[in-house]
């Protein structure tokens, strides 16, 4: 299952400037692509476009072509697209529907919208809960969960519709270290299971472990893309408003000070 | 004279009966930069609200410049202790950046000249000069967070408390926050930051207060907090020392920041000098 | 109401309001809430009728030129009984019905899922806004907004609190709408009903019987066949 974005340009309704310009991206099954860039570089816009919410839900002008396994999705309504591409947001609590009393009902919200028979709804819901690892929270009140747990809930809610692709806009931005760990572990498991994930993040340390490829946005353009190690080690990152992972910073600082790579490398593996 | 102190501070939330603070003794001096760390539920947020009177002690007391805060209204305490909360959108109300920044000092009754100066300075420090007439909601989330910071900076309080200043911030924003904090403590202000960013702690703070279950379990330097021997202590609060500190421990040198680590390694790598013959 | 005087409303109150309230265990809440609800009307009805009942003769109390009469008092009590019956019934409904149950049932009987959603979500809005208002108040007080001063000061403090509450709530609704759309909310047609409140046969029979009885009684009253 491949999601292809070709020559994508997007302008928000009522805006003079394009938010995205000539972006090419391909998201294949089992792959995790990290999306980085300064704030306002277009990460959120790209997530909205990839999921179909832009322009379907928010208007605006979209150029270029989006295809799933080669088929153009231009004419697909949002609910059809949501079965292929799920989108998660930064704020854990805002993604809750607020009309459900338990985590189970909340995750079932998606399948329920599709008028699926009850046992299928239940099966999909339990599947999603166990993939993400929160079956023990099934009876809990969604509003009383921690930020990290709520993000896991949001992801489970998306998975219940069975999409092969997930697009996540800074899922750990508002989480503490524990919440961040919960979410990144779940994402790693998802990728292993074959889900394709496009995740925008400021935390490059998280991406270093999680993503196989990194794409860098600058003022709406894709300026760098490639294997994770290469891109994260590129010295141009800081100019582009991206903080390299701690490991990379240390290596670069050590190299600059003339310290042998060997000594540091061993310590870095253990630390 | 110490700026701010808590003595045996206890806080029990009336509704739930939760003992959020269980006997906290702290002292903050002018010019200090202190990081308060701990996981959710450790009492960090409750502590912040005691520092400016939003919450009142169940037991114990909070002393501001020697006087018990209990006798002062929140509006009065706001002259001494400025608190910047985590979510700028739960604060911003004005139609322009300028009006938003003026709100604080206006409430404190500053003169027109003082007001202008304080606002200008705050905008400069947060990099928002030139955006005075813009609607805050036209700015991105990162800039709105800086706006919230500017609006409290303009109050020129002797104590500045920041609740999660780096969460949700981008690289440029974090750099700004750093320079603001360094400038503030250089000017003799007390800066207290509640944070879970351990690298930020190592780089900027001379003192770390680690909280767990409403108590202080460590009050010392970052070196002490990130010491290998204390690894379990930190882990019990679900926190981890920054990479540089962990590598330093591995390699057997003293360091908590990347810069320190690199120079420590450089020193260790140099061949021993032979004494002149 | 059809059976005049005091008997009708009192019987109604006892049978249709107090007995079910006892059974549901909400009698005390019911008494308190329905009393509060009825208070304004009851107070004015009482005053007007006790003192100004036309044809009242048996004097009870004289306040200057105004006289309270026994006939007036009797009539006022009748009115009070009717008011209590009505407010009691309304309060009983409110106290014994869970919004979620009501909405699910309505959806089962055919209202649009989107309307059902709005009905359910509206209940949530108030606690969420209260929480938001409390956080915003904290932030504004931290910037010197005086909420403990004189009345005028407190009034002028409304804008810095109400403004962000409303703006923030609207912004949150916009974000939430996107998240919901991403989960198929805008798909036209019915939704799966995960569960439905139990509706036993006798309950349905009783409901229909009540509706028919009401209709019948109104007809009887209007055509004058029953005093």
DSSP collapsed to 3 states, A77-102: CHHHHCCCEEEECCCCHHHCCCCCCC
Pairing of strands C66-69, C59-63: antiparallel
pLDDT at position B75: 92
At B274, the pLDDT band (50, 70, 90 cuts) reads low
Bridge partners of A197, per DSSP, are: A32, A166
pLDDT at position C5: 66
Report how far Cα C108 is from the mean position of its chain's Cα atoms.
24
Complex ipTM tops 0.95: no
C223 touches chain A (CB under 8 A): no
Residue B120 lies in a domain: no
Chains that touch B (3 or more CB pairs under 8 A): A, C
pLDDT at position C2: 43
Bridge partners of B145, per DSSP, are: none
Number of domains in chain B: 1
How far is the alpha carbon of B93 from chain C, nearest alpha carbon, in Å?
5
For B147, residues 6+ apart whose C-beta sits below 8 A from its C-beta are B88, B92, B97, B100, B101, B126, B128, B136, B139
Question: Which pTM does this prediction carry?
Answer: 0.85
Q: Could you tell me the two tokens for C26?
A: 């909400």
Whole-number Å distance between alpha carbons of C175 and C172: 5
Yes or no, beta carbons of A247 and B243 under 8 Å apart: yes
Show which of residues 168-207 on chain C sit within 8 Å of chain B, judged by CB atoms.
Answer: 168, 171
A210 versus C26: the higher-pLDDT residue is: A210
pLDDT at position C55: 76
Q: What percent of chain B has pLDDT over 90?
A: 75
Q: How far is CA C135 from CA A143, B54, B240, C44, C168, in A?
A: 17, 11, 30, 40, 12
| Span C12-31, average pLDDT | 80
Q: Which of B46-60, B73-87, C93-107 has the lowest mean pLDDT?
A: C93-107
Render pLDDT for B104-144 as a digit per residue (tens, 0 to 9).
999 999 999 999 999 999 999 999 999 999 999 889 889 99
Instruction: DSSP for B41-55, please give it.
Output: TSSHHHHHHHHTTSS
H-helix or E-strand spanning residue A63: strand A61-68
Residue B234 lies in a domain: yes
pLDDT at position C1: 42
**Three-state secondary structure call for residue C54:** coil
Is the distance from CB of B199 to CB of B242 less than 8 angstroms? yes
| H helix runs in A133-245, sequence order | 147-159, 177-192, 204-210, 228-233
Nearest to B170 by CA among C3, C128, A204: A204
At A263, the pLDDT band (50, 70, 90 cuts) reads low
**Is the bond leading into A55 cis (omega within 30 degrees of zero)?**
yes
pLDDT at A138 over 70: yes
The position carrying tokens 């072509």 is A65
Residue of C nearest to B72 (CA): C148
Nearest to C16 by CA among C81, C73, C92: C92
Yes or no, beta carbons of B78 and C143 under 8 Å apart: yes
For A169, residues 6+ apart whose C-beta sits below 8 A from its C-beta are A43, A44, A47, A87, A88, A89, A90, A200
**Three-state secondary structure call for residue C16:** helix
Q: Fill in the DSSP letter of residue B276.
A: P
Q: How far is CA C65 from CA A15, A108, C48, C62, C76, in A?
A: 74, 71, 15, 7, 20
pLDDT at C107 over 70: yes
C200 touches chain A (CB under 8 A): no
| Span C189-218, average pLDDT | 83
Q: Could you tell me the two tokens for A229?
A: 């190690």
| H helix runs in chain C, sequence order | 7-12, 19-24, 27-52, 70-96, 99-108, 113-141, 151-156, 159-181, 201-222
Q: Round to the nearest angstrom and report the end-to-end CA distance of chain A.
A: 37
pLDDT at C11 over 80: no
Counting beta carbons within 10 angstroms of the beta carbon of residue C91, is it exposed (0 to 12), middle (13 to 18) or buried (19 or more)?
A: buried
Is the distance from CB of A184 to CB of A206 less than 8 angstroms? yes
Instruction: Show the domains of chain A with their CATH numbers.
Output: 3-84+163-270 (3.40.50.300), 91-162 (no CATH)
Q: How far is CA C152 from CA A65, B100, B112, C148, C158, in A?
A: 59, 21, 23, 11, 10
At B103, the pLDDT band (50, 70, 90 cuts) reads very high
Bridge partners of A8, per DSSP, are: A23
pLDDT at position A50: 97
Render pLDDT for A45-69 as a digit per residue (tens, 0 to 9).
999 999 999 999 999 999 999 999 9
Which chain A residues are within 8 Å of C180, Cβ to Cβ? 97
Render pLDDT for B160-219 as a digit per residue (tens, 0 to 9).
999 999 998 989 999 999 999 999 999 999 999 999 999 999 999 999 999 999 999 999
Q: Fill in the DSSP letter of residue A223.
A: E
**Host domain of residue B231:** 4-80+157-269
By Cβ distance, the residue of C143, C146, C148 closest to B151 is: C143
Residue B34 lies in a domain: yes
Residue of A nearest to C187 (CA): A79
Residue B75 lies in a domain: yes
pLDDT at C167 over 90: no
Is the distance from CB of C76 to CB of C5 less than 8 angstroms? no
B28 touches chain C (CB under 8 A): no
Residue B111 lies in a domain: no
Residue B182 lies in a domain: yes
| Span B31-40, average pLDDT | 93
Residue B59 lies in a domain: yes
Mean pLDDT of chain B: 91
How far is the alpha carbon of C115 from chain A, nearest alpha carbon, in Å?
12
User: What letters, b where the CB count within 10 A reaches 16 and e where it falls short, cover B178-203?
Assistant: eebbeebbeeebbbbbbbbbbbbbbb
At A248, the pLDDT band (50, 70, 90 cuts) reads very high
Show which of residues 98-127 on chain C sit within 8 Å of chain A, judged by CB atoms.
Answer: 100, 113, 117, 120-121, 124
For C149, residues 6+ apart whose C-beta sits below 8 A from its C-beta are B73, B75
Is the distance from CB of A217 to CB of A42 less than 8 angstroms? yes
Counting beta carbons within 10 angstroms of the beta carbon of residue A20, is it exposed (0 to 12), middle (13 to 18) or buried (19 or more)?
A: buried
| Span A32-41, average pLDDT | 94
Q: What CATH code is carried by the domain that includes residue B35? A: 3.40.50.300
Which chain C residues are within 8 Å of A86, Cβ to Cβ? 182-183
Residue of A nearest to B266 (CA): A259
Residue B135 lies in a domain: no
Yes or no, beta carbons of C180 and A117 under 8 Å apart: no
pLDDT at C123 over 80: no
Which chain A residues are within 8 Å of B263, Cβ to Cβ? 257
Q: What percent of chain C has pLDDT over 70?
A: 96
């Amino acid at each position: 299952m491949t999601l292809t974005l070709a020559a994508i340009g997007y302008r928000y309704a009522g805006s003079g400037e394009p938010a995205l310009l000539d972006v090419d991206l391909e998201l294949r099954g089992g792959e995790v692509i990290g999306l980085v860039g300064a704030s306002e570089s277009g990460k959120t816009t790209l997530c909205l476009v990839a999921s179909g919410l832009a322009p379907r839900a928010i208007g605006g002008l979209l150029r270029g072509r989006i295809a799933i396994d080669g088929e153009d999705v231009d004419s697909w309504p949002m609910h059809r697209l949501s079965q292929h591409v799920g989108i998660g947001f930064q704020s854990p609590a805002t993604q809750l529907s607020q009309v459900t009393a338990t985590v189970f009902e909340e995750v079932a919200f998606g399948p329920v919208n599709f008028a699926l028979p009850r046992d299928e709804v239940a099966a999909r819901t339990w599947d999603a809960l166990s993939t993400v690892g929160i079956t023990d929270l099934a009876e809990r009140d969604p509003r009383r969960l921690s930020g990290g747990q709520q993000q896991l809930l949001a992801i489970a809610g998306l998975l219940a519709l069975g999409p092969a692709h997930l697009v996540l806009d800074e899922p750990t931005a508002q989480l503490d270290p524990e919440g961040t760990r919960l979410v990144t572990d779940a994402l790693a498991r998802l990728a292993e299971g074959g889900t394709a994930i496009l995740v925008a993040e400021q935390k490059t340390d998280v991406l270093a472990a999680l993503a196989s490829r990194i794409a860098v946005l600058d003022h709406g353009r894709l300026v760098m893309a490639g294997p994770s190690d290469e891109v994260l080690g590129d010295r141009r990152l800081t100019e582009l408003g991206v903080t390299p992972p701690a490991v990379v910073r240390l290596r670069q600082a050590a190299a600059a000070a003339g310290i042998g790579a060997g000594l540091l490398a061993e310590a870095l593996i253990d630390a | 004279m110490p700026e701010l102190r808590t003595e045996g501070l206890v806080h029990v939330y009336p509704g739930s009966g939760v003992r959020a603070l269980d006997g906290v003794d702290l002292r903050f001096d002018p010019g200090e930069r202190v990081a308060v760390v701990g996981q959710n539920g450790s009492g960090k947020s409750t502590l912040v609200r005691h520092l400016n009177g939003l919450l009142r002690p169940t037991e114990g007391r909070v002393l501001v410049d020697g006087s018990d805060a209990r006798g002062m209204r929140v509006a009065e305490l706001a002259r001494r202790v400025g608190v910047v909360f985590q979510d700028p959108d739960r604060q911003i109300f004005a139609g322009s950046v300028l009006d938003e920044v003026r709100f604080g000092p206006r409430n404190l009754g500053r003169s027109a000249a003082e007001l202008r100066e304080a606002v200008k300075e705050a905008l400069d420090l947060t990099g928002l000069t030139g955006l005075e007439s813009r609607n805050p909601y036209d700015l991105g989330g990162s800039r709105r967070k800086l706006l919230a910071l500017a609006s409290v900076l303009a109050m020129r309080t002797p104590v500045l408390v920041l609740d999660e200043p780096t969460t949700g911030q981008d690289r440029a924003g974090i750099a700004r926050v750093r320079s603001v904090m360094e400038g503030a403590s250089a000017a003799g202000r007390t800066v207290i930051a509640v944070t879970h960013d351990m690298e930020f702690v190592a780089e900027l703070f001379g003192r770390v207060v680690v909280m767990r279950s409403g108590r202080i379990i460590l009050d010392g330097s970052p070196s002490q907090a990130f010491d290998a021997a204390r690894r379990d202590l930190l882990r019990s609060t679900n926190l981890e020392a920054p990479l540089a500190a962990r590598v330093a421990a591995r390699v057997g040198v003293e360091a908590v920041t990347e810069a320190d680590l690199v120079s420590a390694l450089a020193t260790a790598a140099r061949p021993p000098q032979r004494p002149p013959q | 109401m059809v059976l005049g005087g005091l008997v009708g409303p009192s019987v109604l109150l006892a049978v249709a309001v107090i007995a079910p309230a006892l059974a549901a265990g909400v009698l005390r809440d019911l008494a308190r809430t329905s009393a509060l609800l009825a208070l304004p009307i009851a107070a004015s009805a009482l005053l007007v009728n006790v003192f100004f009942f036309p044809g009242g003769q048996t004097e009870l109390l004289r306040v200057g030129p105004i006289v309270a009469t026994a006939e007036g008092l009797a009539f006022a009590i009748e009115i009070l009984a009717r008011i209590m019956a009505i407010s009691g019934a309304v309060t009983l409904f409110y106290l014994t019905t869970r919004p979620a149950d009501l909405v699910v049932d309505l959806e089962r009987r055919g209202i649009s899922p989107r309307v059902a959603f709005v009905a359910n979500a509206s209940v949530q809005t108030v606690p969420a806004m209260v929480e938001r208002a409390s956080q915003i108040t904290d932030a504004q007080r931290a910037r010197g907004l005086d909420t403990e001063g004189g009345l005028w000061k407190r009034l002028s403090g409304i804008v810095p609190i109400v403004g962000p509450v409303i703006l923030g709530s609207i912004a949150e609704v916009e974000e939430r709408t996107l998240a919901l759309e991403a989960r198929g909310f805008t798909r036209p047609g019915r939704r799966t009903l995960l569960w439905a409140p139990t509706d036993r046969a006798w309950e349905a029979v009783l409901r229909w019987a009540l509706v028919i009885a009401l209709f019948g009684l109104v007809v009887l009253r209007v055509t004058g066949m029953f005093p």
